[in-house]
Amino acid sequence: MIHSKDIRERLKDIDDFLKERYKLAHPEKKRDWRTYEEQYALRIKEAMRQLAPLVDEAIAAIQIDAAPGRPHGLTLKQRVLLLLLQRLFGESNRMMAAMLAAFSVLSDIDVSYKTIERLYSDEEVDMALHNLHVIILRRKGVTNVDAAGDGTGYSLSISKHYATEAANRKDEAKENQENVKKAFVYSFKLIDVKTKMFVAYGTSMKSENEAFLRTLSFLERIGIHLDSVRLDKYYSCSAHVDKFGNDTKVFILPKKTATLNGSHKWKHTMKEFVDNTLPYMEQYYQREAIENAWSVDKQRFGGEINQRREDRIDCADRCTLLWHNLFQMGSTP
């Protein structure tokens, strides 16, 4: 039988000893930049090679009935590819339209920046992107997942940076929703720690918690089962742990004020933390997979999203997720 004070004592042990022991057992590997650049180039080539066939498969399941009015100037495949490439290049809609005009001799695609903007709220494109995500996970064999989850913020104006603002406000960027809801969009993602593929995501203009709940809803829609999940201290309470079913093992670092008050699942999680601390922390620290993924994606695509409408912001984040997974297609777990 354990008590609340056992949790606090174990947290002291972690601060004093376990973190250093973990670091000694898992020394940080120095990156070979030449090898890294070569592998990155190969991943881009592999992603581009597989992109068109995957999009073909994604749109094959979509049946579109003829609607009144002028037909769309681009095929669904062209619209999906154009949207994904615009997110990859990170150019503004106007610059992307200018680039297409310059290369129209080769591509026969010449559209306005407004056409590109509307792709972010095109329902047919949205369905194709959803299918594409499911197909990529299926190709990679992602079904039952040992996951890690975390949230971040994307700036909606280039004059502000989420990490800097959050530090200056001492995490008010998460807590004081009134001050930040117009400046940032919150994004939460779950990653498979084995394949490093994102399995689910959610965005919110209001709070990270709402983005988290939308991620769980998305996960349910695509039918992916979590065998286990690792979350940071922001989700360290019975209410969040209970969002996962009894078949999902939760690894979470309790707060210093944590008690045993809560559900049976919460009590069982805290008992595992106290009684089997080393194996528990080995599992918990696999959260580095999601932290690394966030870091890499922000380097690739930047920390800003240029769209303003909430549905288009969500679509932009989904495109980032898809490119992340496409880059992982050629890697080995």
For 122-136, the pLDDT digits (tens) are: 999 999 999 999 999
Question: Under a CB-based contact definition with an 8 Å cutoff, are residues 174 and 208 in contact?
Answer: yes
Position 72 in a domain: no
Please enumerate, as own/partner, the contacts of 44-52 that have beta carbons within 8 Å and a separation of 24 or more.
44/327, 46/329, 46/330, 47/323, 47/326, 47/327, 47/329, 47/330, 50/326, 50/329, 51/81, 51/84, 51/326, 52/77, 52/81
Q: Note the maximum CA span of the chain.
A: 74
Tell me, yes or no, whether 167 lies in a domain.
Answer: yes
3-state helix, strand, coil split of the chain in percent (to 5) is: 60, 10, 30
Domains contained in the chain, number: 1
- Give pLDDT, residue 322: 96
User: What digits encode the pLDDT tens for the residues 280-315?
Assistant: 988 999 999 999 999 989 988 888 888 889 999 999
**What are the CA-CA distances from residue 327 to residues 43, 122, 198 (Å)?**
5, 25, 11
Question: Which domain covers residue 321, as residue numbers?
Answer: 4-63+120-328
Residue 81 lies in a domain: no
**What pLDDT was estimated at residue 259?**
87
Residue 83 · residue 318 · CB < 8 Å: no
**Could you tell me if residue 185 is inside a domain?**
yes
pLDDT(107) > 70: no
83 falls within a domain: no
In a domain, 88, yes or no: no
